[in-house]
Amino acid sequence: MGGDVSPDAAVLGRLLRGRRSIRDFEPRAVPPALLRELLDEARHAPSWSNTQPYRLGIATGPLRDRLARELPRRYDEARRLQRAGALTRLRAVLTRRGLPDFDFDPRTQYPPELLAARRRCGFGLYARLGIAREDRAARERQMRRNYEFFGAPCAVFVFVHAALGPYAALDAGFFLQSLALAAHARGLGSCVQGALALFAGPLKREFAVPEGWKLLCGVALGWPSADPVNGYDPGRADVDALLLPASA
Ligand SMILES: Cc1cc2nc3c(=O)[nH]c(=O)nc-3n(C[C@H](O)[C@H](O)[C@H](O)COP(=O)(O)O)c2cc1C
């Protein structure tokens, strides 16, 4: 194709193609110096006017454990409310208790042209986990694992400045890909988790989040376990499928 590939390009290509989302981790901690090294590399990501409009809440040790108890509790509570009668739900809305308290709602309504890919990805993951499509309880248990960071010893919560609108999220995306690749290059695994945007309250109690900064997502980070779920590769659309045809 493009002739000789430079060693740098070969390494980068391997890392780009080989990174996968990791959804089961070993409990062993990520050494603080290693975590620092990853962040130090990822901060070189580009951002609009070099503003780096993201701030990170890092949860390890007892803080991580506290959140890995509180967030699943919030998830269970929200699920219970979802199934409760209209009156209980109304009371929850009025008292603002038990419901998700996101800054950005991660429960996106997918448009028809994206829905098929979403379903393929979800069902592929469940198949990998040996979960039958109709087994709602097992699917829910897997969803719940998001809130325990899939067992990762480190969770990174990403806040962006709301004033920059979508560009702050774009900048955070560059940062996250850099972080994911820096981690992958060292044998660590990560999973960006939109699910972790659902409950902002517990995070705002644990971290001093300045006015105007909103919870965008979380990232589980740690050493991948040998669980087969970590081999799940949902594949990608071909380049051609990403290209717009010329207008007629
Ligand atoms: C913004 C964003 C949010 C995501 N949220 C979740 C999540 O909440 N739970 C999860 O298991 N995976 C989540 N993922 C991982 C995606 O499912 C994954 O990146 C995609 O299926 C491609 O697979 P790969 O990362 O293994 O290549 C998220 C990824 C991104 C970029």
> Which pLDDT value is given to residue 1?
53
Question: Can you give the pTM of this predicted structure?
Answer: 0.96
Residue 64 CB partners (closer than 8 Å, separation 6+): 149, 153, 154, 155
Sign of CA dihedral 234, 152, 78, 129: positive
Q: How many CA atoms lie within 13 A of 102 on its CB side?
A: 16
d(CA 186, CA 57): 22
Q: Spell 86-111 as b/e; 16+ CB within 10 A means b.
A: eeeeeebeeeeebbbbbbbebeeeee
Q: Which domains does the chain have, with CATH numbers?
A: 22-224 (3.40.109.10)
Ligand 1 pocket test: which of 19, 20, 21, 25 has the largest number of ligand atoms within 8 Å of its C-beta? 21
Report residues of the chain scoring pLDDT below 50: none
Alpha helices in the chain (DSSP H): 7-18, 32-42, 61-83, 86-95, 112-128, 136-145, 166-185, 201-206, 239-242
Q: What is the pLDDT of residue 196?
A: 98
- Mean of the per-residue pLDDT values of the chain: 96
Q: In the prediction, which pLDDT does 89 show?
A: 86
Ligand 1 — pocket residues by CB below 6 A? 20-21, 23, 121, 146, 191-195, 217, 234
- Gap between the Cα atoms of 91 and 99, Å rounded: 11
Q: For the chain, state the CA radius of gyration.
A: 19
Which residue has its alpha carbon closest to ligand 1 atom 29? 192
Q: How many residues does the chain have?
A: 248
pLDDT value, residue 60: 98
Residue 14: the pLDDT is 98
Give 171 Cα–ligand 1 centroid separation in angstroms.
Answer: 17
Of ligand 1's listed atoms, the one at least distance from the Cα of 232 is: 26
| Phi, then psi, of 220 in degrees rounded to 5 | -85, 140
Predicted confidence at residue 248, as pLDDT, reads 85
Task: For residue 23, give the nearest of 109, 129, 101 by alpha carbon.
Answer: 129
Spatial separation of the C-alpha atoms in residues 215 and 204, rounded to whole Å: 9
CA distance 47 to 219: 19
**What pLDDT sits at residue 87?**
87
> How confident is the model at residue 93, as a pLDDT?
85
Residue from 16, 102, 193 to probe ligand 1 pocket by mutation (most atoms less than 8 Å from CB): 193
Q: In this structure, which residue's CA is closest to atom 18 in ligand 1? A: 21
